[in-house]
Chains A and B, each alone.
Chain A
Amino acid sequence: AQKVTQAQTEISVVEKEDVTLDCVYETRDTTYYLFWYKQPPSGELVFLIRRNSFDEQNEISGRYSWNFQKSTSSFNFTITASQVVDSAVYFCALSETTTGNQFYFGTGTSLTVIP
């Protein structure tokens, strides 16, 4: 079974619109870590954020914000006032303490921001 589900395969928005990328995870561990990565057209994978299971505070970094809700096993990512440079594939990932540093990646959401 998939440990990380990103149901949205592709999203297109017009520049300056807000967009939310969904991530749902599954684990039996009480201590775990969640991550978001960005893969722009150039191909590299860029780390965006890490959140541990004990910290449910939402985080904001510029136009990016993350909403972690253990009750729904979700870790959603919102881009406010999207820009063309936000066009990329975004991956959510889970790491469990019982499986060490191994990551379980979602299948990614391809975001296209139209100018």
Chain B
Amino acid sequence: DAGVIQSPRHEVTEMGQEVTLRCKPISGHDYLFWYRQTMMRGLELLIYFNNNVPIDDSGMPEDRFSAKMPNASFSTLKIQPSEPRDSAVYFCASSLAVGRGVGYEQYFGPGTRLTVT
């Protein structure tokens, strides 16, 4: 069974450009999470969805960040305009809901390493 798929794996862009990160969760999972990891701030939760509906976006740094989940098998995280301080590894993760399956843990994708110059 395929795990969480993220694309691209690496993205290098110039300041001011729009960046779109993509995620395909594990089929059948109810929850989808977007995280950002940096040396300074560690692993931060940006936003998460339940059944395609955003539940908590309080971790989104500012209005330049937006996330969508148009269907159960696809989500995007967009940064517009990008800034050098957005450089980080962005992870997508998915999980089942409590009581729905034997696993409650989050499964992570390989991450997208974003560099904004």
Contact = CB atoms under 8 A, between A and B. Distances in A.
Q: Do A and B bind each other?
A: yes
Contact of B104 (A43, A101, A105, A108): A101
Interface of B: 30-31, 33, 42-43, 45, 48, 50, 55-56, 89, 91, 93, 95, 97-98, 103-111, 113
B29 to A, nearest CB: 10
Given A43-B113, A50-B104, A101-B98, 9 more contacts: A37-B108, A43-B111, A44-B109, A46-B108, A50-B103, A100-B50, A102-B45, A105-B43, A108-B43
Nearest to A97: B98
Contact of A107 (B42, B111, B113): B42
A45 B91 contact: yes
Which label, helix, strand, loop or mixed, suits the secondary structure of the B interface?
strand
Contacts, number: 49
Interface of A: 33, 35, 37, 43-47, 50, 91, 95, 97, 100-103, 105, 107-108
Nearest to B41: A107
A44 B42 contact: no
17 contacts: A35-B105, A43-B89, A43-B111, A46-B108, A47-B106, A91-B43, A95-B104, A97-B98, A101-B30, A101-B33, A101-B50, A101-B104, A102-B48, A102-B56, A103-B45, A107-B42, A108-B43
